[in-house]
Amino acid sequence: MHSSDKTLFLTPAAPGFYVLTPCLDEVGAVCEASREPVIAWALDGLGCVHPVAMCDGLQDRGDPAVLCPDGEVRAFKESWASLADWLNDQKAGVQHDDLC
């Protein structure tokens, strides 16, 4: 969510949703996923829904990935069938991008 977008509404999240963040090893390669429980959902002025995580608050990191209770991982622009698929995609992205 951009700072110019106002939060219009917050609603509690059902248990079992997690914001995922790739964890890096000592050489900078993705090795696992950090999971933060989603405690609420925020609706912004554009009608987009953003996860609110327990430790990181409102997720303002572009396109956060959320692990759903059914095992699917969803983001605004993409989805994966499983956490393993998301993690493999993250590993491949780090190996091919010079941004990390």
CB-CB neighbours of 57 under 10 Å: 13
pTM for the structure as a whole: 0.79
Q: Check pLDDT > 90 for residue 84.
A: yes
Q: Which residues pair with 34 in a beta bridge?
A: 21
Angle at 97 between CA 93 and CA 99, to 5 degrees: 120
Quote the pLDDT of residue 47: 85
pLDDT category at 60 given cuts 50, 70, 90 is low
